[in-house]
Structure 1
Amino acid sequence: MTTGPGRPRRGEHELLPVTGGVPRADPHFTGREAALERIHDFLGSRPGARFLISGGNGVGKSRIAAEYAYRHAREYDLIWWIPAATDIETHRAYLRLAEHLGLPVSYEHVPRTVQSVRRELSERADLGSWLLVFDDVVDAQALASEYFPHSGGHIIVTSRHHRWLPRGQGGQRFDGQVVPRLTTAESLSLLRRICPERLEPPGDGERLAELLEHLPLALSQVGAFLRESAMPTGDFLDLFEERYDAMLWQMGAEDDHTAPLRVAWSIQAEHMLEGADERERETGRVALELVRLCAFFAPLPLSRGLFHRTDGAVLDRALEYMRRHDLAFFDDRNDAFQLHELFQSVVRDSLTMAERVHHRNLAHLVLADNAPEGPTDPAHRAAYLSLYTHVKASHAWTSRDPRVRAMVLNVVDFLTEVGNYSDATSLLGQAVNVWLDDPSMLLHARLRRNKIRRIHGEYVTALEEARSIHAEQVERAGPDSDETLEALRAVAISLSGLARFQEAGQLFRDILEQRRERHSAADRRTLEAAHDYGQALQEQGRFEEALAMDQSTLAGRRALLGPDDVQTLRTGLSLGLNLILLGRLDEARKQLTECMERFETAAEPDSPHALQGMLFLSVAHRRLGDPERALELANRALVRYRRKHPSTVRQVLYCRVIRMVSLVRAGSLDEALREVDDLMPPLDERYPAEHPFPAAARLSMGIVLRAAGRHTEALERDQEGLERLLRIYGPGSFSTLPAALNVATDLHRLGRFREAGDLEAMTEADCRHRLPADHPILLTARRNHLVSRHAGGEDVSEEWDRLRAEFAERFGGEHPGTVSMSSFTRQDCDVFPVAPL
């Protein structure tokens, strides 16, 4: 036999494979030899084989898969267990596998990580032979198309469904077997392993197996109960039959398959409250409560630490009781345990309505008590993935407890941070429908949903919704309450997204003034409002005012939050951006470099703010004449953005536009031209026509097209960009100045010298009016105008030499802009899109 393409069986002397998440071996496993042999024969007969183990709930599908993994471990180099009941569980397993394989792990864009793992397993020969086990699959065809590696290795799937036999979708080959319940002989073998002394007189074992309908889960639990209990087997059988007949009258046909486990549990639960002494009774009572509580969590491994508020010694005894009675699977390596999903369902159904409400609420409080602080902190992402699964399973949004509702909002913040907007929106929808009794929590849920609309670029809808929320909040709490101001902030942000910067700026100013009246200048909320207003000033092109505001806000945030807090660093980035726009490039580089170093120290190098800062720093290096360093930074940012997002979301488009100009400066013209062709459709799809970013992007495309000698196309892009910016900001505004200069350059290259000179003369005058004498845009305006005058026959040699000296003093003699002044050559005005994403 071979275990993979051309790979021989591993020798007995070789090391065991890396195994990830495989459940512990079941010491009571018995039977199923024919199924194990069939799996082995099929997987070994062909590379890339896939085998489906299907059957009803509780028949032991997962046990068979785990047993196969242990028996044939030496035939593989890697075995990885992937819980697949939900996408969340599958994603967690893939993230761990990616980490093991040395691949980038991105919680922000898990599908990209999944695809990286698929490629790695398909293409990397040095990984050797591998086995993936997808456990508890709902839709094997969908799973195959989204998660299976394209070739190589072996895959086992367990599922309650068998409609995919014998062939899966897309050429994925499945063989498989529907696993029946145990035979009488197998049932007796299992019971003999668990409770050999309780099968007398002859016939009791057969009777017990028949009553439990040969269901392995029920046999294991009842066998363990009989082993630990003083109840005679015959008495148990008589009581079981009596209750079974009574239960069938109460159950629907669809529940018949759970009847044996339900009856057995009803007997076990009663006996858990009995004991020889108070200590035993307490242990049984705590174990019973623990089982009932855990029935409301997701069917995932539960850490012992989750129940840290329970007395440690009592908890230890209760867990040992559950282990002896086979009520859970225990993972001692990770100090965790897990209830079977079918058993959880049976336990929940055994409770009265009042008991269900009590235990569900208790489960919610346990989750809230264990939720980490900082849902956007990368260190807590694995914990929040598990937490979200439990929130969904327990319907935590139905809780009335404010601690639980705050936890739900934290989960939403986590999902939003990692880009899982659909699940975040779904969870918010549930909360909004239920939290009508708590206007404050309802407001925060609605504002989070509004934020996701803005992230998706739905600014018109977001603005309408935000105004409605704000109006309701004014009516409820008045115009000056903190929560009313939060709603007004959502209105202002939506206006910014629609490029209505004057209206947004006025609202941000109003919010800041009201925050100052209600709180001190050093209050967190006041500083947030100051940061927002600084960005509004920046959006309006009022960079000196924006810089002053950012400097004040940065000092306040450093004092209150510390220099490494993400909010402090956000203001530091904004300050660095203002320095770039004001032409203070050395200061900008120093400021942005410090911010990026602090992001690295704070373990936030891949956060959205850190990546934006990397792009700001790239532009600073580009303008300082270091195109190679600028491109290196832009490339790093793009790689990290693409781990999180597809290529056409706003953040990645922003990165690609900035990188495109760096490609030209670094001599990679062909790649830059490909970006010009690819960027226009998603830009116009993602942004409204009145938004400044697609206008600025057109100017960047003009730089690329000019470098390629395509001057007519460059003029078309630059004129369109200039016209849009004039409509947004008005004539003479800062954002229109580089656009006008680049249009003039296009005209000059096309031989339209008079038009170019007239436009440059007017733009130079605007630059002198708005900018300091050494601002790079003003220097470029003077330079290009001199070139046009020279082309018109004027002698401008002395002026040119003086300007060249100014360039050398401003940028240094080695700067490309200075070096290129050895002759009368024009210079592109480097465009930097500063509009909000």
Structure 2
Amino acid sequence: MTSGTGPIGGSRDHPPVMGGVPPADPDFTGREAILEQIHEALQRREGARYLIGGGSGVGKSLIARQYAHRYAEHYDLIWWVPAATDIDANGSFLRLAEQIGLTVSHDHIARTVQGVRRALTRDPRIGSWLLVFDGAADIETLVSDYVPEGGPGRVLITSRDHRRPRWNRVGRLIDGRVVPRLDTAESLSLLRKVCPERVEPLGTGERLAEHLEHLPLALSQVGAFLRESPLETEEFFERFQERYTDMVTRMGTDDEHTAPLAAAWAIQAEELLGDTDDDTGRAVVELVRLCAFLAPLPLSRSFFTRARGLGDAPGRRGPFGDEVRLDRVLEFMRRRRLVSVDPGNDTFHLHELFQEVIRDSMPLVEKLRYRELARRVLAHNDPGEPADPAHRDRYLVLHAHVKESQAWSSRDPRVRSLVLNVIDFLTETGEYPKAVGVADQAVNAWGDDPASLMHARLRRNKIRRIHSEYATALAEARDIHREQLDRGGPEADETLEALRAVAIALSGLARFDEAEHLFEQILEHRRARTGSEPDAHTLEAAHDYAQVLQEQGRFDQALLVSERNLRERAALLGPDSVPTLRTDLNLGLTLMSLGRWEEARDRLEECMERFEAISAAETPHALQGLLFLALVHRDLGDTETGLEYSSRALALYRRHYPPTVRQTLYCRVVHMVTLTRAGRRDEAAEEARRVLPPTDERFPDGHPFPAWARVGIGIVLRAQGAFTRAAVMDQAALERLQRIYGPGSFTTLPAALNLATDLYGSERHADARELDALTEAGCRDLVADTHPILLTARRNHLVSRHTLGEDVKEEWSELRRTLAERFGSAHPSVASMSSYTRQDCDVLPVMVV
């Protein structure tokens, strides 16, 4: 929680914590009855919700803002949540999580959002709170995903979507009302505050309000314009009526509501552009038009100061890269009510309706120009490192602007690079549907540029693989590779990237020999080019090669490749870069497979601490680390810790992925066996019943994972005493692994060990002994004397021999001493040796997710 000992939001003796609440509008007027109605409704009960509905520009947000400031003394915490998109709402909830002392996860934002909802519902230290959701597009989705279900708080929502009735998901009506435009008295009151000298003589204010159709946004802007303009009021009326009539003639009925604001802006823009003595006006128009093509979010000043050089082109006099000019322009826009400014956050915000009016008022050639200029501003704000957790907040905002500006339609290479980086960011953070959406747009738009098109197609191909669509991914990757081979030759970077996609797809289809050949070929090309100073592409190729060696059970070779690659990645990219940590995870997995469990545990735990330190503990890569830690702790006898890791991993995998994609299935099998080890056999049995059909559907015949799933299910069945059914699973697993890796390979040993236990449990002791002898002999040929698989094979063979009448007492005591030295006397494998009992083998050597 936050520091200090008092309530998070303070006590009623002190002002409330106010997060993101825009400053109060000094010109706010009228709406007194609405404010009182809102307060009365919200104070009736804890958990009350109130919806302020109405058309754009009627002042819904101003009313919510005024309520927050006027009635602040009734709350300990007031938090303003921009709710036009999930990007806005998520960012606000992340900041709220920090405020109330929760762990913030940028890697899976939904988890943090739900944590905030729970805390607001249950934590009394937060006190009485008010959440203001401004500009919600979909009330039902907002209530379902963001609004807390209880607690000592209230919720205020503004939305154009004001259909009634509104129900939350527990069946309680959301109270509310539709906000009308101002009445004549309220309009006059507003104009007298903004431009008192322009409402005289009698009747002038009424005419002005009528012309602007009593729309608060238009009244505020026009009043501020007239206050500072030399234009006579009567001349304004004449010019307004002329433009208004012309616009209504050309508009459809659905757009007529924007005509007053559009006509007023046309007059103001003419005045600003016509002043040749001061370039501020032209810069204002430039900035307003550009911002019209960005998402309706608060915009940071730094967003434009980073865009140095954009103002140098002829005719462009915007404040790009010039802080002094930007300050002057924003101050002018603030006085003219063209933007709302939040000095505390150093941001400004154009009203969404004003943005719409600006876009619609421009001729096509100007729309194209300013949309492209907006895209170039975005490109200047690209950090260029989408995998770096430090840039998550900026990429969240850039994604919203990329969508709004349709940045994929740009031909500028820098803008296209930004689009690719946004796709990478969305993929890195597990936002796969959004990543596919942007990638599809890029693929459709970039036919003029083969290189950019290839990069977009490869990113989409990667997401296909993540979703287990390996056959489709392979066909697409081969097409891309053929095209690049013809275009650039076999050693071009683009050709090698496409070939890598082919190799990864082959690996996913369990065609490991073919994949290894390609990965080795790519690595040789890369190393030949870079020599003793490998670049990032070379190190990625080495990572791929080590991984395919693991998948083939060649762990000693994989260890050598990964150890070298870890050193080189750390030297080039830093020890805490995500690529370096990925190789570290791979190295930990290899150590597990080699039976070096303690080393693996220590390495993996350190690796996860480093993921945590860079705020990347819930990226898809780090989720593998949780899974590996569940395995290694379980096998080291710490079942409770193993279950904690597997439970956490499964919850996160289910949030990142559908329940039947490969990543989740891997985790489900690990968790299933861990549940069995923890004595939660009913839960494990239920998972065993459900996991096999999607596993067989998702993996091809030649893939080893369905065999490992059957090994896991066999463990669950044996725990229930169902040895015959377990034998069916283990026999099928053994046959499959032998087909893939060959008889007697290391990877077949766990299935053979467990099948012998099935035979023993079915009282086929002689058959069990025969298989035990063969398996132990195979282990001795392949692994070190202290490898856990060999120790399990020795134990099980001794039990079979003992049951058949042999005297194995001395050998049993010797094995017990070996196990105690290897794992400690508290390990279950040692403690259980008080009697001649067999042990399962649940090592999963092939676990590259």
Common topology (TM > 0.5): yes
Note if 1:322 corresponds to 2:327: no
Cα distance change, pair 186–670 in 1 and its aligned pair in 2 (3 A): same
Q: Mean Cα displacement is larger for which, 223-232 or 723-732? A: 723-732
Cα distance change, pair 68–451 in 1 and its aligned pair in 2 (3 A): same
Distance in 2 (CA, whole Å) between partners of 1:189 and 1:690 is 78
What aligned pairs does 1:753-832 form with structure 2 within 5 A after superposition?
753-812=765-824, 815-832=827-844
Corresponding residue for residue 295 of structure 1: 292
Corresponding residue for residue 21 of structure 2: 22
Note if 1:427 corresponds to 2:438: yes
Q: Mean Cα displacement is larger for which, 435-444 or 251-260? A: 251-260
Note if 1:85 corresponds to 2:74: no
Aligned mate of 2:378, from 342, 367, 375: 367
Aligned mate of 2:515, from 487, 495, 504: 504
Contact 1:107 1:644 in 2 (8 A): no
Distance in 2 (CA, whole Å) between partners of 1:48 and 1:825 is 58
Question: What is the Cα deviation at residue 662 of structure 1?
Answer: 4.1
Question: What is the Cα deviation at residue 634 of structure 1?
Answer: 4.0
Corresponding residue for residue 355 of structure 1: 366
Cα distance change, pair 622–252 in 1 and its aligned pair in 2 (3 A): closer
Corresponding residue for residue 73 of structure 1: 72
Cα distance change, pair 15–506 in 1 and its aligned pair in 2 (3 A): same
Question: What is the Cα deviation at residue 701 of structure 1?
Answer: 3.1
Which residue identity does 2:175 align to in structure 1?
D
Corresponding residue for residue 515 of structure 1: 526
Corresponding residue for residue 199 of structure 2: 199
Q: Mean Cα displacement is larger for which, 331-340 or 116-125? A: 116-125
Distance in 2 (CA, whole Å) between partners of 1:419 and 1:110 is 10
Note if 1:283 corresponds to 2:276: no
SS in 2 for 1:137: coil
Note if 1:436 corresponds to 2:413: no
Question: What is the Cα deviation at residue 442 of structure 1?
Answer: 0.7
Distance in 1 (CA, whole Å) between partners of 2:582 and 2:158 is 47
Q: Mean Cα displacement is larger for which, 630-639 or 535-544? A: 630-639
Normalised TM-score (structure 1) = 0.92
Q: Write out per-residue CA displacement over residues 144-181 of structure 1, whole angstroms, 9 at most, x where no aligned residue.
A: 34433334543333222332236677624133322222
Distance in 2 (CA, whole Å) between partners of 1:683 and 1:15 is 58
Corresponding residue for residue 4 of structure 1: none
Question: What is the Cα deviation at residue 524 of structure 1?
Answer: 2.2
Question: What is the Cα deviation at residue 201 of structure 1?
Answer: 2.1
Note if 1:834 corresponds to 2:846: yes
Contact 1:140 1:164 in 2 (8 A): no
Aligned mate of 1:305, from 302, 307, 331: 302
Contact 1:145 1:170 in 2 (8 A): no
Q: Mean Cα displacement is larger for which, 450-459 or 802-811? A: 802-811
Corresponding residue for residue 311 of structure 2: none
Q: Mean Cα displacement is larger for which, 694-703 or 177-186? A: 694-703
Contact 2:212 2:260 in 1 (8 A): yes
Distance in 2 (CA, whole Å) between partners of 1:628 and 1:47 is 40
Question: What is the Cα deviation at residue 558 of structure 1?
Answer: 2.7
Note if 1:100 corresponds to 2:99: yes
Q: Write out per-residue CA displacement over residues 501-524 of structure 1, whole angstroms, 9 at most, x where no aligned residue.
A: 222112212222222333325232
Question: What is the Cα deviation at residue 564 of structure 1?
Answer: 2.4
SS in 2 for 1:176: strand
Corresponding residue for residue 724 of structure 1: 736
Corresponding residue for residue 252 of structure 1: 252
Corresponding residue for residue 336 of structure 1: 347
Distance in 2 (CA, whole Å) between partners of 1:196 and 1:108 is 52
Which residue identity does 2:416 align to in structure 1?
R
Corresponding residue for residue 737 of structure 1: 749
Distance in 1 (CA, whole Å) between partners of 2:257 and 2:754 is 76
Which residue identity does 1:135 align to in structure 2?
D
SS in 2 for 1:327: coil
Aligned mate of 1:654, from 666, 685, 692: 666
Contact 1:387 1:411 in 2 (8 A): yes
What aligned pairs does 1:510-659 form with structure 2 within 5 A after superposition?
510-520=521-531, 522-635=534-647, 637-638=649-650, 641=653, 644=656, 649-659=661-671
Distance in 2 (CA, whole Å) between partners of 1:625 and 1:129 is 46
Q: Mean Cα displacement is larger for which, 124-133 or 300-309? A: 124-133
Distance in 2 (CA, whole Å) between partners of 1:17 and 1:307 is 33
Cα distance change, pair 517–203 in 1 and its aligned pair in 2 (3 A): same
Note if 1:464 corresponds to 2:461: no
Q: Write out per-residue CA displacement over residues 257-307 of structure 1, whole angstroms, 9 at most, x where no aligned residue.
A: 2111111111111222355x84xx122222221111111111110011111
Which residue identity does 1:294 align to in structure 2?
C
Distance in 2 (CA, whole Å) between partners of 1:251 and 1:568 is 58
Contact 2:515 2:548 in 1 (8 A): yes
Cα distance change, pair 541–213 in 1 and its aligned pair in 2 (3 A): same
Contact 2:681 2:719 in 1 (8 A): yes
Q: Write out per-residue CA displacement over residues 438-497 of structure 1, whole angstroms, 9 at most, x where no aligned residue.
A: 111111111110111111111121112212222222222223321111111111111211
Cα distance change, pair 632–169 in 1 and its aligned pair in 2 (3 A): closer
Corresponding residue for residue 49 of structure 1: 48
Q: Mean Cα displacement is larger for which, 344-353 or 416-425? A: 344-353
Contact 2:107 2:617 in 1 (8 A): no
Distance in 2 (CA, whole Å) between partners of 1:366 and 1:134 is 29
Contact 2:79 2:131 in 1 (8 A): yes
Distance in 2 (CA, whole Å) between partners of 1:28 and 1:55 is 20
Distance in 2 (CA, whole Å) between partners of 1:509 and 1:356 is 50
SS in 1 for 2:273: coil
Cα distance change, pair 32–626 in 1 and its aligned pair in 2 (3 A): closer
SS in 2 for 1:154: strand
Question: What is the Cα deviation at residue 186 of structure 1?
Answer: 1.1
Question: What is the Cα deviation at residue 675 of structure 1?
Answer: 4.3
Distance in 2 (CA, whole Å) between partners of 1:134 and 1:560 is 45
Corresponding residue for residue 455 of structure 1: 466
SS in 1 for 2:50: strand
Contact 2:592 2:600 in 1 (8 A): yes
Question: What is the Cα deviation at residue 70 of structure 1?
Answer: 1.9
Which residue identity does 1:520 align to in structure 2?
G
SS in 1 for 2:43: helix
Question: What is the Cα deviation at residue 358 of structure 1?
Answer: 2.0
Distance in 1 (CA, whole Å) between partners of 2:554 and 2:283 is 66
SS in 1 for 2:181: coil
Q: Write out per-residue CA displacement over residues 20-67 of structure 1, whole angstroms, 9 at most, x where no aligned residue.
A: 322221111111222223323333334543333222221111111222
Cα distance change, pair 613–301 in 1 and its aligned pair in 2 (3 A): same
Question: What is the Cα deviation at residue 710 of structure 1?
Answer: 3.5
SS in 2 for 1:273: helix
SS in 1 for 2:78: strand
Corresponding residue for residue 136 of structure 1: 135
What aligned pairs does 1:158-173 form with structure 2 within 5 A after superposition?
158-165=158-165, 171-173=171-173
Cα distance change, pair 492–110 in 1 and its aligned pair in 2 (3 A): same
Question: What is the Cα deviation at residue 811 of structure 1?
Answer: 4.2
Cα distance change, pair 689–44 in 1 and its aligned pair in 2 (3 A): farther
Question: What is the Cα deviation at residue 135 of structure 1?
Answer: 2.2
Distance in 1 (CA, whole Å) between partners of 2:832 and 2:45 is 65
Q: How many residues are aligned here? A: 825
Q: Mean Cα displacement is larger for which, 471-480 or 304-313? A: 471-480
Note if 1:237 corresponds to 2:237: yes
SS in 2 for 1:773: coil
Which residue identity does 1:89 align to in structure 2?
D
Distance in 1 (CA, whole Å) between partners of 2:155 and 2:330 is 34
SS in 2 for 1:79: strand
Structure 2 gaps of 5+ residues are: 1-8, 309-320
Question: What is the Cα deviation at residue 526 of structure 1?
Answer: 1.8
Distance in 2 (CA, whole Å) between partners of 1:73 and 1:233 is 40
Distance in 2 (CA, whole Å) between partners of 1:681 and 1:127 is 46
Corresponding residue for residue 5 of structure 1: none
Distance in 2 (CA, whole Å) between partners of 1:732 and 1:185 is 91
Normalised TM-score (structure 2) = 0.91
Q: Write out per-residue CA displacement over residues 300-326 of structure 1, whole angstroms, 9 at most, x where no aligned residue.
A: 100111111332211111111111111
Corresponding residue for residue 316 of structure 2: none
Percent identical pairs in the alignment equals 62
Cα distance change, pair 656–22 in 1 and its aligned pair in 2 (3 A): same
Structure 1 gaps of 5+ residues are: 1-9
